[in-house]
Amino acid sequence: MTNKESTIAMYIRISSEDEDKESNSIKNQKNLLENYINSSPELSKFEVIAFVDDGYSGTNFERPAFKEMMEDIKNGTIDCVLVKDLSRFGRNYLEVGRYIEHILPSMNIRFVAINDNYDSIKNSINAEAIEIPFKNLVNDFYAKDISKKIMSAKESLMKQGKFLSSHAIYGYSKDEKDKHKLVRDTEAAIIVERIFKMYLEGIGISEIASTFNKEGILTPAKYKKKKGSTFNSPTAYEKSFWKKDAVLRLLKDERYTGKSVNGTTKVKFVGSKNHNYVAKEDYIVVSGMHEAIVSQRDFTKVMKLMGNRRTTTKTSEKQIKQKQDEHVITRVRCGGCNSILKRAGQSPRFKCRNKKVSIDNTCFDKSILVRHVESYVFEVLVKHIKNIVSINELFQSTRAKNEENRIMFEIEKEEKKLLIKKAKKLSQYEEYRKGNLDKQKYLAIKEEAEILIGMIENRILDLEKSIRSEEINAEKRVIENAKEHLDALILCKKMYDDFVEEIFIHDLDKIKIVLKNQEEYKRICKKKKK
């Protein structure tokens, strides 16, 4: 790091299992890293940026601050990554090793783990580097062991009937004295009671939603925000008006009878964020855990009226998705309310389920045959695919291919230079260890060699980027997909999924198709203009 404008990234991570460990607190990690930088004459003159992931597991790299840091590294704005120890960087043995041994070195990024006494520019040829994979493996085992203990502790709380979600369900709030207990929220509970009462009186779900919209009753999400909650759900709750799904979700929630319902999903494996749905008979249900808003008798009546449907919205949504996957066209939305359109009838048609309850009347208020939509989509995709292939044929000229071959030749030449320089640097180190070279002269030779090696590595990276960049790879995938479907006679599922993000239907003659990979398509078109 000889560039005066170099930047150090301090990466700090704390997970839920670290909360009781003062040594791993964000403040203590930051102090340790800052003290290390300030005590180093080499590092203290550089700019410092802190990236903090608060409450994120080290078993995977799906962390916002980590992703932001890696994006800055790719953009060339960071030269060194500094962490307290390897476990703060990550606890997945294979992934941590891949970053330290391959990804960061290929980007010419220095990596320092203070408590592990590891510095990539000092340990690269040191025997201590052998310890790194072992430490990564220990961290991996530790993370999985902790995860198992946390899962076991959570299961114990579930069996005690404790409420474990971060936000209370609509109709309740969390007890200020016990975050694992729900207390009645009178204002919202009245609405829940009213929903059950109306349904038992024979009023349909659509009519309930429509009535609430006319009366201006806040949806669960709007109500929670009014109360100052940070609740942010991707479901229909966040819409500005009541929908059938929202009413149905409340009617199916057994927790309104005073029961706690936990264990509806399980992680696929320790450290995974993916969940599998659990059979209803395996749910962990404990009665009498909070004040009931609805009697068990009334709830049972509601379930019978619904034809004994399953009581979890998540499961029913999964069933709907499985059914949709059987069709060629999916992700078809109403141009007004943005909801997924219902597919119904012997001659299937798309309809909006919310047109009766919509408060601004912008919903698609008709129905359209699915085959008509499929025909229109196929027509649009055929033109789009032919355009991509024709542009590619113009671009893939002999001149372009020759240019790629020239670059590959340059890369090979630079890689040979790099091997020679690294071998020379290693031989000088061996001479120094044998006592044939004094320290001062060795350090001078080493610094010069590192500068030259760095220049060659940067040159190789620049050349590789010109033919192997993510942008070019993405463009190639688009072109390959287009060639695959060029001679298609009908719209198939793969063709649809390769090119269509989603569809919005505003009216019978107003259908908007949102295509995938638009940035890549624009770049392909620019090449044609050139």
The answer as to whether 437 is a domain residue is yes
**Residues 15 and 131 both lie in one domain:** yes
For residue 33, give the nearest of 20, 44, 41, 22 by alpha carbon: 44
Domain finish residue from 247, 279, 311: 311
pLDDT at residue 148 above 70?
A: no
Average pLDDT score, the chain = 78
Residue found under tokens 């749905």: 277
**Residues 176 and 75 both lie in one domain:** no
**Residues 182 and 303 both lie in one domain:** yes
Domain finish residue from 275, 290, 311: 311
The rounded distance, in Å, linking the Cα atoms of 317 and 343 is 14
Token output for 254: 């057994």
pLDDT band at 435 (very low <50, low <70, confident <90, very high): confident
Q: Which domain holds residue 181?
A: 172-311
For residue 88, give the nearest of 38, 150, 21, 148 by alpha carbon: 21
pLDDT at 129: 43
Beta bridge partners of 351: 342, 367
**Residues 134 and 182 both lie in one domain:** no
**Residues 126 and 201 both lie in one domain:** no
The answer as to whether 408 is a domain residue is yes
**Residues 199 and 107 both lie in one domain:** no
Q: How far is CA 64 from CA 11, 28, 234, 267, 285, in A?
A: 12, 21, 18, 21, 34
**Residues 182 and 101 both lie in one domain:** no
The rounded distance, in Å, linking the Cα atoms of 1 and 260 is 57
Per mean pLDDT, which range of 169-178, 220-229, 380-389, 455-464 is the poorest? 455-464
Global pTM?
0.42
pLDDT tens digits for range 361-375:
788 888 999 999 998
In degrees, to the nearest 5, what angle opens at C-alpha 369 toward C-alphas 357 and 511? 70
The domain spanning residue 30 has which CATH number? 3.40.50.1390
pLDDT at 464: 66
**Residues 141 and 34 both lie in one domain:** yes
Exposed (0-12), middle (13-18) or buried (19+): which is 304, by Cβ within 10 Å?
exposed
The answer as to whether 334 is a domain residue is no
Q: How far is CA 243 from CA 35, 40, 220, 247, 338, in A?
A: 55, 61, 11, 7, 12
Exposed (0-12), middle (13-18) or buried (19+): which is 334, by Cβ within 10 Å?
buried
**Residues 141 and 182 both lie in one domain:** no
pLDDT tens digits for range 92-122:
766 787 788 778 888 889 999 998 888 888 7
Q: What is the distance of C-alpha 129 from the center of its chain?
A: 32
The rounded distance, in Å, linking the Cα atoms of 407 and 418 is 16
**Residues 135 and 208 both lie in one domain:** no
Query: What φ, ψ does residue 85 adopt, rounded to 5°?
Result: -155, 175
Domain finish residue from 311, 326, 347: 311
pLDDT at residue 130 above 80?
A: no
**pLDDT average, residue stretch 279-306:** 89
Q: How far is CA 77 from CA 81, 107, 125, in A?
A: 12, 11, 27
Pairing of strands 172-174, 182-184: antiparallel
Please, which residues have CB within 8 angstroms of residue 105's CB and are 6 or more apart in sequence?
Answer: 120
pLDDT tens digits for range 229-288:
765 554 434 456 788 888 998 999 999 999 888 887 766 544 445 556 777 788 888 899
The winner for highest mean pLDDT among 107-111, 121-125, 158-162 is 107-111
The answer as to whether 129 is a domain residue is yes
The domain spanning residue 218 has which CATH number? 3.90.1750
Number of domains in the chain: 3
Which tops the pLDDT comparison, 176 or 327?
A: 176
**Residues 181 and 55 both lie in one domain:** no
The answer as to whether 427 is a domain residue is yes
**Residues 134 and 199 both lie in one domain:** no
Buried b (16+ CB within 10 A) or exposed e, 122-153: ebeeeeeeeebeebbeebbeebbebbeeeeee
The answer as to whether 112 is a domain residue is yes
The rounded distance, in Å, linking the Cα atoms of 342 and 515 is 21
For residue 99, give the nearest of 78, 84, 126, 120 by alpha carbon: 120
The winner for highest mean pLDDT among 136-145, 177-186, 228-237 is 177-186
**pLDDT average, residue stretch 431-448:** 82
The rounded distance, in Å, linking the Cα atoms of 516 and 502 is 9
pLDDT at 93: 62
- What is the separation, in whole angstroms, between the first and last Cα of the chain? 39
Side chain identity, residue 454: G
Round the CA-based radius of gyration of the chain to a whole number and report it: 30
